[in-house]
Amino acid sequence: MTPTASAPRRRTSPATDLALIATFAGLIAACALLPAINIGGAVPITLQTFGVMLSGAVLGARRGFLATLLYLAVGAIGIPVFAGGSAGLAPFAGPTVGYLVAFPFAAFATGFFVERLPRTRIAARVPLIVLSGLAASFLFIHPLGILGMAWRADLTLGQALIADLPFWPGDVVKNILMGIVATAVHRAFPGLLPRRARRGGAPVDAVTADGTPADATATAAAPADATADDASAQRTA
């Protein structure tokens, strides 16, 4: 019987990666330019974090990080893609600096968590993706945002924490929307999110477009392959 080789992992081309990174950088910019909600503090509520988390959840840790970094670089060189149409280095010297610096790390963390979620049931992934986004947000965006406001808005840490609290309910809503959208994208394009590899290079927790575990398909096909190999060996003998 001839041993069967494990299927190679599908990799996107560099051109595809660049196109996806640029597309999601544009998506974050579009979210930032939508009308913001001014809550009377130093930082308004925008949809930027929705775009940041979605980049990580859909593209994975590496490409999500790069998409968010590209967005920041485009804004830093003077293109008005930050909230309120601002641009240049001024936003990095103001109260929003902590949030901006946190964006790439939050996208990376979201992608890191989502890449490691089980892919056997599409419907069950929504709450797990939401929790991944919330975890990344409370690990990076809120702590760094609070530090940035304390530093640049002349607030104590306690005052900065109070100023950050109004963002929390909106973050929950935005991450719920992100989880729904990301799950829909995963279902439509199951090969878009990078897969973890087990030893030997075989992908784990893969699913087909209809949510069926790919491992189950491979397992069902294995007996047929073995039968064909046995029959071939008998004819040779």
**3-class state of residue 213 by DSSP:** strand
DSSP 211: S
pTM of this structure: 0.79
**For residue 88, is it left (φ>0), alpha (ψ between -120 and 50) or beta?**
left
What ranges do the domains of the chain cover?
14-197, 207-237
How is domain 14-197 classified at the architecture level of CATH? Orthogonal Bundle (1.10)
Task: Please list the rounded mean pLDDT of every run of 10 residues in the chain (237 residues).
Answer: 46 89 97 78 79 97 98 97 92 94 98 89 86 97 96 93 92 94 93 70 47 46 47 48
Cα distances (angstroms) measured from residue 196 to each of 8, 118, 193: 13, 10, 10
What tokens does 32 get? 């930032």
How confident is the model at residue 131, as a pLDDT? 96
